[in-house]
Amino acid sequence: MSLAQVLGSTDPATGSLPNNADYTAQGYRTILVKPGTYAGGVVSGNRYGVNVVGATGDPADVVLTAPGGAVATLTISAPQWTLRDVTVQSVATAVGAQATAVQVKSGDKQVLDHVRLLGDKQTLLVSTANVTTYSRVYVTGSYLEGGADLILGRAVTVVDRSTIHVLDRPGASLTDSSIAAGSAFGFLIADSRIVTDGAAGSIALGRPYSTTGKAQVVVRGTELGEGVNAARPWKDWDAVTLWTAGRFAEHRNTGPGAAIVDPATRPQLSDADAEGFTARKYLAGTDGWDPTAR
């Protein structure tokens, strides 16, 4: 199914969006998506600088949906896309199966603003073109729902002022960061809420990815529900790649899941150190990109 068919633009000329085009030079191209449920996967192609916006402002009114599996409902492979006021849903074929709502496959400066991402395993997959490519993803004011490895990949990713709902998947790890060892920043979850349908202590905040062991995750200013394992919030990948191989830290989290049972298992940033781990710091890169100022 074509991009125009799925998005149902109110402007047919805009909706056609020829491929292999850089719309950033034209002040970006905005597509308003009419209310409705659109079945079938969507791919960005090689279109730079596209804004996909739900026409009503309510993400529940515009739903992109597809069956779960190896292919995401929405795959972004071009830089500078913004997704706003829409729901992207991947329907798992079995409980706990891969169901990726959005995959950022490549491309820098992606923004997901006031969206709902619904899936199961690997709801949000944040990749880069290759292991040496630097990409950034900013998720703000959104609702993310899924199971194990809900946020997975090697792109620098910030989830800000959002709700993360982990399904009842005992032992699930919320994040699975595979950032390169040379990168100072991986994943940041800030000023958000983490809740689960599962039992108390049934989920972990993150684990190091087996291929690198150099995960980097900070969770700060976030309300942690009782589903988070307060005694062991960070999880080993296996008997060889332990959680201590990653770079994990917290700062001023609240809620029952934030209780410090054993300080050795919950590294905390000082107020001074936390100044170096803000959304702006994560996303600035070498060009000073700051989507938080929108």
Q: Where are the domains of the chain?
A: 68-285
More confident residue, 129 or 169: 169
Tell which residue, 239, 234, 215, has the closest CA to residue 224: 234
| Statement: 68-285 belongs to CATH 2.160.20.10 | yes
Q: Which long-range contacts (CB under 8 A, 24 or more apart) does 25-34 make?
A: 25/49, 28/80, 28/82, 31/7, 33/7, 33/8, 33/9, 33/62, 33/86, 34/8, 34/10, 34/62
- Interval 42-85: pLDDT, tens: 888 888 999 999 999 999 999 999 999 989 999 999 999 999 99
CA distance 195 to 251: 18
- Interval 77-130: pLDDT, tens: 999 999 999 999 999 999 999 999 999 999 999 999 999 999 999 999 999 988
